[in-house]
Amino acid sequence: MRPSARATAEVMAQVLRTTASLAFTDGLNPAQWAALRYFAQANASARNVVAFARHHGTTKGTASQTIAALLKKDLLERHPSETDRRSIRLTLTVRGQTMLANDPLNELVAAIDGLAPAQHGALASGLDELLRTLLSRRTESGGRDSGALDASGDTDRNGAAAD
């Protein structure tokens, strides 16, 4: 018997809460972990505040707060652009790279890795379709944000997560 959409959504919400709670570790919150992951993987031209904000669907101000916290913790460093002195490129410090070795997301990665290949494939394609649907609905509704919370439970005046 197929589970109800409500039951599946509730399990998914529990997985997300559990994963988010794991991300309050090593003095970082989930938004900061997400930023470390982003800057570790982004190509050089996308290692800036605006690209990070766009990728994570947040405001430039909120992204700046997250980045400022990581700079203060010596996990990111600024580099002036070689082509445009007004631009700053952000990179992980050695300490930031070391932190990522203990990324709490690895717990979820291990759980997914333990799935049978068919289950993993079905989960991946199902989540991809869910994300596309949610993003499409968000776009259709004018990008309205209902006050998304960050790991600290704070929102900014635009409903974007505050650091």
CB of 146 closer than 8 Å to CB of 19: no
CA pair distance 83, 80, nearest whole angstrom: 9
CA pair distance 99, 76, nearest whole angstrom: 11
CA pair distance 93, 50, nearest whole angstrom: 20
Domains in the chain, please, with CATH?
A: 8-134 (1.10.10.10)
pLDDT of 81? 76
- The stretch 31-39 carries a mean pLDDT of 96
Question: 117 pLDDT band (50/70/90 cuts)?
Answer: very high
CA pair distance 162, 16, nearest whole angstrom: 19
Question: 42 pLDDT band (50/70/90 cuts)?
Answer: very high
Q: What is the pTM of this model?
A: 0.75
CB of 79 closer than 8 Å to CB of 88: yes
- The stretch 107-130 carries a mean pLDDT of 95
pLDDT of 143? 56
- The stretch 90-115 carries a mean pLDDT of 95
pLDDT of 140? 82
Question: 80 pLDDT band (50/70/90 cuts)?
Answer: confident
Question: 29 pLDDT band (50/70/90 cuts)?
Answer: very high
Using DSSP's 3-state secondary structure scheme, residue 49 falls into helix
Cα-only R_g, the chain: 17
pLDDT of residue 63 exceeding 50, the answer is yes
pLDDT of residue 66 exceeding 80, the answer is yes
CA pair distance 137, 44, nearest whole angstrom: 31
Token pair, residue 136, equals 């499409």
Mean pLDDT of the chain: 86
- pLDDT, tens only, 50-61: 999 999 989 999
The region, left, alpha or beta by phi > 0 then psi within -120 to 50, assigned to residue 74 is left
Token pair, residue 144, equals 């309205």
- The stretch 21-49 carries a mean pLDDT of 94
CB of 36 closer than 8 Å to CB of 52: no
Q: Which residue has the higher pLDDT, 13 or 141?
A: 13
Instruction: Report CA 7 to chain centroid distance, whole Å.
Output: 25
